[in-house]
Structure 1
């Protein structure tokens, strides 16, 4: 994980959370330790939610 924050939401309450992800945030190091970004479909899930929150194609 590169970016995260803890948000307290009391039971029964809800909060709207906004955050930005750039292509830079999706980079990982390959076996040669070179930064890579893979093309494909990406789904964003939050904690134990079973439904995806956001989806995009790069």
Structure 2
């Protein structure tokens, strides 16, 4: 998967979780935890960019 496509997918997932929290479909705590859950994906991409992948 290209870097651009992966970034769009991750961003869309975070926006979707936020919208679900606004309409009270998921609890507010889930929306607050979603950016923290994205950190491993961001760290994995950083190591792949530096060539350690």
Q: TM-score with structure 2 length normalisation?
A: 0.27
Task: Point out the structure with max Rg over C-alpha.
Answer: 1
Q: Which of the two has greater strand per residue? A: 1
Q: TM-score with structure 1 length normalisation?
A: 0.26
